[in-house]
Amino acid sequence: MATAVTELPPAELARLRRRTVWTLVGGVALGSTGNIAALTVATIVANDLTGSAALAGTPAAAVVFGAALGATTLSWLMSRRGRRPGLVVGYGLGVVGAGLAIAGVVASSLPILLLGSLLIGFGNSANQLSRYAAADLYPPDRRATALGVVVWAATVGAVVGPNLVGPSGDVAAAIGLPRHAGPYLVPTILVALAAILSFVRLRPDPYDLADHHSRSADDLGSASPLAEIVRRPQVLVSIVALVIGQFVMVLIMTMTPLHMTAHGHDLGAVGLVLSAHTFGMYALAPISGRLTDRFGSPTVIYGGLTVLAVAGVLAAIAPAEDDRLLLLALFLLGWGWNLGYVAGSALLTSGVSIVERTRVQGIADGLIWSTAALASLGSGVLVASAGYATLGVLGAILVVIPAWILTVRRGALDRAPQPAA
């Protein structure tokens, strides 16, 4: 990776960084729209294929496990080749996965659907890793804001993706495919556009445009062992907060479409509730970023955990026949996740150089998505055995874990050395 571009005049360097951020925003907007459209019907498709609520969460689990595998694999690729090749490969595999998922629906084959869902997860991991590429470009006191802008881009997918379920089903039926194959047509087109955009516009590579605070350890050619990096208080706290937040969100969200359809709601109502949820996940991300830069990651993480707990309780008590309270619960579930996701991701870059953070980001996201895969699988089993309300109660209880660890490690966080701003 070349470093000469950082010697450009400040105005030109700033322009290239802005262009890079907006390219990342475009890729995330396209990729999230495709991925969310497919994920909206995943549990419904699996339930139709298997006739079992216990197996309904398996495609969503495959997507999440694919994101975990993609996070570690793509981060490894990025550390050697740069951010751009990693994002292009991730999006490309997502397109292949969408094609396989269509084949699985046509053939009524759950294994093919699961393989396609696994590769769709690679496209999702490219979306998620884009936030770190943006954070690299700015000094520590602006990273959360830059990161939040890229996370916000998924608002497009949050609003548009679920609402493409119906129209894409009509298109699929018109060309002779099963209606449930329609939502998988969306990522074959939009995720492909994200791959093309990243390939063409991410020049120079985001690594080459990184802020000098991020690059300092690279320039010295030094990096701490991975075990030492993970033990740093800010890294440990951020990983725990990110993992539990993702687990709670996926646990409740995965089975909500099936819960609604089982109680007489149509796909339009399901799409509306999922749109509210994913809107909460992404639309307020720039505000989460500014709050994090202003008040610090620990304070915002506490706020996110509180909102998640409230969302879990509301989901547990929401009447099955009335989707209004469930819509509020799912919106708050997304918003609480957003607060913790932005603040936790920003904390993960604190006191960690770019060469170190690339390693730990892949491991962190791998843990996040692996744990979320367990949540997807476990949600179906819990609903089949104890009912949907159990998911909300369990989610509200689990947020105590990161809150306790954050409280215990707060002093160490305050004492941890920070890069100069």
Model confidence pLDDT, tens digit, residues 317-336: 887 777 788 889 999 999 99
Give yes or no for residue 308 having a pLDDT over 80: yes
Q: What is the phi/psi pair of residue 264, to 5°? A: 90, 5
Q: Please report which residue ranges of 202-231 form alpha helices under DSSP H.
A: 212-220, 226-231
Tokens of 358: 């690339």
Q: Regarding the domain with residue range 4-415, which homologous superfamily does it belong to in the CATH classification?
A: MFS general substrate transporter like domains (1.20.1250.20)
Does the pTM surpass 0.75? The reply is yes
Give yes or no for residue 230 having a pLDDT over 80: no
Query: What gap in Å lies between CA 70 and CA 94, rounded to an integer?
Result: 10
pLDDT band at 162 (very low <50, low <70, confident <90, very high): confident
pLDDT at position 192 is: 96
Q: What share of the chain is helix, strand, coil (3-state, %, to 5)?
A: 85, 0, 15
**Averaged over 139-153, what is the pLDDT?**
89
Half-sphere exposure of 18 (CA within 13 A, CB side): 6
- Asked if 256 and 41 touch (Cβ cutoff 8 Å), the reply is no
Position 96: which residue type? V
**Averaged over 98-104, what is the pLDDT?**
95
At a CB cut-off of 8 Å and minimum separation 6, what does 283 contact?
A: 152, 155, 158
- Asked if 121 and 66 touch (Cβ cutoff 8 Å), the reply is yes
Query: What gap in Å lies between CA 260 and CA 249, rounded to an integer?
Result: 17
Give yes or no for residue 181 having a pLDDT over 60: yes
